[in-house]
Chain A
Amino acid sequence: MLGTKSNVTKPKKSTGESLANSVDKLSVEEVPKVKSKNLNVVAEFEKSGMKRMANFVVIGHVDHGKSTLMGRLLYDLNVIDQRSVDKLRKEAETIGKSSFALAWVMDQTSEERSRGVTVDIATNYFETDKTKFTILDAPGHKDFIPNMIAGASQADFAVLVIDASTNSFESGLKGQTKEHALLVRSMGVHRLIVAVNKMDTVSWSQARFEEISQQMNAFLTAASYTAKSITFIPCAGLTGENVTRKVEDPSASWYSGQSLIEALDASEPAKRNIEKPLRMTIGDVFRGGIQNPVSISGRIDAGSVQVGDAILTMPAGETAIVKAIEAENDVVDWAVAGQIPTLHLTDIDPVHLRLGDIACDPKHPVKLIKSFTSKILAFDHVLPMSVDVFRGRLQAEGKITALTATLNKATGEVLKKKPRVIKPAEVARVVIELERELPLEAGTRVVLREGGNTIAAGLLEA
């Protein structure tokens, strides 16, 4: 091709010579399309003196006001401007659901709005003087627990929202309040802020607040949260009292503690495994715009990534080049563990990217496994049976094939080999076989569900 072309443009030169010249210029080496700055990300991160970062998941029973509370938080912190809130109010009023306006800051799809429930996680950012926060607003409805698990797997700590009004708290306790609290605990979240919401509907009754705190405290400590890692905050999402500002209602004069935002700010920063090889769970695959046809987002569980890096996606085993990185709505050169960035990719077909896949360092790839042993904490009776295995966005079919042993909760000693059935609250070792090979590593936390109920939480051993 080249030879013939130069033949036409430079007819005076002999054909052979120009052909030889052009062949010289050809090379098999691929020119990298994206230039890497070859930064030492770890050093860069330390140098940057970045603000503390924290991701938290908002959990609780359906209709307890999670989305509204978060909408209020963003509104009062001026992350959402007055104009858009006014617009939402107007829209909400036209369909006769004016109290939903703030929740619509988080619930954006038409389905969520018309049905008045959150379906999928909403991600939002805000920052205080000390910390940059990422909100993961989880759905409370039973059917969408898979989405809630996806949210919880990205969180450093959790905000449990409880409706203080009569009967609501009680019905929630039987429902998802309990299940969510157990789930996030078994997924490695230790710190919990309990926001006792809708205090305005019980006219800021101290007795009610204390009743709820006591009951929850008893339940949560039984679920192996330590008492000092739980904070109770009374608040009202709809009116915004004790969210970012103190309560003005005289009947709430008994309360002098923190507001929600202060409690959030007081949270300990999470540990980061920056120096380990990259592991990022893909939480979303989408078209990031005309210039970025393939983008992924998700939490970096370990390691770091910078523009120009090659990443390997498992289980597809395809490589891609990171073209650009966005974190907290800003374009950045690198991202580290703990962040939930968006990576714009090139050189990969989106069919190779699925939710729950792992993007990893090509030099240290994740192994694919078909079956594994896991220590589990049973929430329900466990028999050898079909289960859904959850890990972040990943949702896979599997089977518990063998109950190896029940274990002592504290020491891990074998109590009984080959038990017939594992009872709720027992710890056991089981073998799980997956329908297809998946990227899972020892130390990964998984959740096992069956027929719409969480039956166990597990920690991968091998």
Chain B
Amino acid sequence: MRLLKSQIDKKDGAGYASLLPEEPEDMWHAYNLIQPGDLLRARAVRRVSKTSDSGSVASQRIVLNLTISVTSTDFDIGSGQLHVAGRVANENEHVKLGSHHTLDLELNRDFSLEKADGWDSIALEILREACDTERKAELWAVVMGEGVANICLITEHQTIPRQKVEVSVPRKRKGGLDGHDKGMEKFFSTTLATLLRHIDLAEKAKEDKTVPLLLASPGFVAQTFLQYIKSEATRTTNKPLLAAVPNILVAHSSSYHVHALKEVLASQGVLSKLSDTKFARETSLMDKFTTLIRQDDGRAWYGPREVERAVEKGAVGRGGGVLLISNALFRAQDVKERKRWVALVDRVREVEGGEVRVLSSLHESGKRLEGLGNIAAILTFPLEDLDEEEEEVADGQTEQEETMVI
């Protein structure tokens, strides 16, 4: 994303920023930036109907710049499209004040944004991150098992599942081995064809970009698939594919599900290819959190209320205190909710002196955090019973089991 112009007051954060999204990933940043209540100005195409004096209605499509006061946002992960709905905030000759409009933000079309309550620390951080000009890491991954393959694109802030390939492969059986081998052959060819449709190798070769491809599976499937790709590339003399073969990594995963990616991405060989250290640190912090919770010494807590209490008691501070928070919380439709989390982050960062990590909800580490209520903390000293005095009314029915469970 390119920052074209910005005028943000350092004290109260009032002001606006003009931005130009250049990559699909930028839409994700925009999605995280734009909140209900904000003023967004962008190019729009609107059908305007005019009633002439004689009563005939003429409708016309007009391209114009509209400013809307945002009511809701909608982000499509797969296609990377962002739709922002709102009400027109600046009247012009075609559109009345207060009428509804949905702006579709597009690549290479600038927009400008003015925050309703000023730019807070989180918003500024997103802005800085989005406009980081360093070349972004990108990686294609195929997580596969016998008969199932998940094709995804991993970028700095997102893991985008692109397509799932499912081919039924007969299992091994007496006298029917043919079926298994044929099934695998069909599975490999379908997967390769699908993969090539998603990664346009010829296009990439022109741009002189090499995109690393990661194959991961339990057992030997990924290895066998790599051999298949090699032999297919040679057989069909597919030059771009042949050129891509050296960039293929094979890794081990424990299953063919997308969430198995987290263990793949944590492995050294893969991390060196993903130049992004942010991601590596997030994963290692999540691992550290899980280890601490296993030790059960009261130094790791999760869940909104528990973490807030821990911060109140000053346990997330200097000397190892870490607050892990998913950016999903900052996207809260409720302004009060967002303020609650921004205040918490500011407090940890500025008052307590602890470390704050904002995890992307579209990455595996963020997904892990999502299960824990989108927020977790590693404390500097143990605290017990942060979860006490809970409401006891939740489920009043007495449960009774006669037999042992397992």
Contact = CB atoms under 8 A, between A and B. Distances in A.
A407 B260 CA distance: 30
A22 B218 CA distance: 61
A421 B406 contact: no
Contact of B219 (A119, A376, A401, A420): A119
A452 B371 contact: no
B168 A353 contact: yes
B122 to A, nearest CB: 25
Given A287-B170, A412-B400, A451 B218 contact: no
Interface stretch (A55-63, A200-208, A380-388): A380-388
B406 A283 contact: no
A429 B252 CA distance: 32
Given A108-B177, A354-B166, A407-B405, A143 B218 contact: yes
Contacts of A120: 171-172
A122 B172 contact: yes
Most chain A CB atoms below 10 A, which of B147, B170, B260, B400: B170
A286 interface: yes
A409 interface: yes
A72 interface: no
B180 A109 contact: yes
A386 B252 CA distance: 18
A423 B257 CA distance: 25
Interface in A281-298: 283-288, 297
Interface in A350-375: 350-351, 353-355, 375
B174 interface: yes
A109 B293 contact: no
Contact of B170 (A286, A375, A413, A459): A286
Given A146-B255, A397-B258, A452-B254, A124 B174 contact: yes
A241 to B, nearest CB: 27
B187 interface: no
B187 to A, nearest CB: 13
A59 B29 CA distance: 50
Nearest to B296: A421
Given A111-B224, A144-B219, A412-B400, A421 B293 contact: yes
Interface string B159-181: 00000001010111110110111
Interface in A279-322: 283-288, 297
Contacts of A414: 399
Contacts of A411: 401
Contacts of A5: none
A351 B387 CA distance: 49
A186 interface: yes
Contacts of B23: none
A410 interface: yes
From DSSP, what is the main secondary structure of chain B's interface residues? loop
From DSSP, what is the main secondary structure of chain A's interface residues? mixed
A445 to B, nearest CB: 9
Contact of A386 (B290, B306, B367): B367
A83 B403 CA distance: 53
Nearest to B220: A111
Interface string A99-117: 0000000001111100100
A381 B293 contact: yes
A395 B168 contact: no
A286 B390 contact: no
B140 interface: no
B341 interface: no
A337 interface: no
Contacts of B28: none
Given A224-B406, A286-B176, A115 B400 contact: no
Contacts of A284: 170-171, 173
B371 A286 contact: no
B259 interface: yes
A451 B405 contact: no
Nearest to B295: A381
B263 interface: yes
Contacts of B257: 386, 388, 397
Interface residues of A, number: 68
Contact of A123 (B173, B256, B402): B173
Interface string B296-334: 100001100010000000000000000000000000000
B263 A451 contact: yes
B401 A407 contact: yes
A155 interface: no
Contacts of B368: 385-386
Given A143-B254, A354-B166, A383 B174 contact: no
A457 interface: yes
B405 A397 contact: no
A449 interface: yes
B5 to A, nearest CB: 42
A356 B171 CA distance: 12
Contact of A143 (B173, B177, B219, B401): B219
A409 B371 contact: no
A247 interface: no
Contacts of A69: none
Contacts of A385: 368, 371-372
A162 interface: no
B260 A287 contact: no
Contacts of A423: 296
B220 A108 contact: no
Given A108-B177, A423-B296, A383 B170 contact: no
Contacts of B147: 355
Interface in B282-299: 290, 293-294, 296
Contacts of B371: 383-386, 399-401
A418 interface: yes
B394 interface: yes
A77 to B, nearest CB: 16
A99 to B, nearest CB: 21
B404 interface: yes
B177 A109 contact: yes
A453 B367 CA distance: 19
B387 A420 contact: yes
B173 to A, nearest CB: 7
Contacts of B302: 383, 420
A158 interface: no
Contact of B406 (A111, A377, A383, A384): A377
B171 A283 contact: yes
A73 to B, nearest CB: 16
Given A120-B171, A386-B368, A386-B371, 4 more contacts: A146-B218, A377-B406, A399-B371, A401-B371
Interface of A: 108-112, 115, 119-124, 141, 143-144, 146, 185-186, 224, 283-288, 297, 350-351, 353-355, 375-377, 381, 383-386, 388, 395, 397, 399-401, 404-405, 407, 409-414, 417-418, 420-421, 423, 427, 429, 449-453, 457, 459
26 contacts: A109-B177, A115-B220, A119-B172, A186-B406, A284-B171, A285-B168, A297-B173, A350-B168, A375-B401, A381-B293, A383-B293, A383-B371, A385-B372, A386-B259, A400-B371, A405-B399, A407-B405, A410-B404, A411-B401, A413-B401, A418-B387, A418-B394, A420-B306, A427-B406, A453-B254, A459-B406
Interface of B: 147, 166, 168, 170-174, 176-177, 179-181, 218-220, 224, 252, 254-260, 262-263, 290, 293-294, 296, 301-302, 306, 367-368, 371-373, 387, 390, 392, 394-395, 399-406
- What 10 A-B pairs come out closest when comparing CB atoms? A412-B401, A452-B254, A286-B170, A384-B371, A377-B406, A143-B218, A386-B259, A375-B405, A284-B171, A143-B219
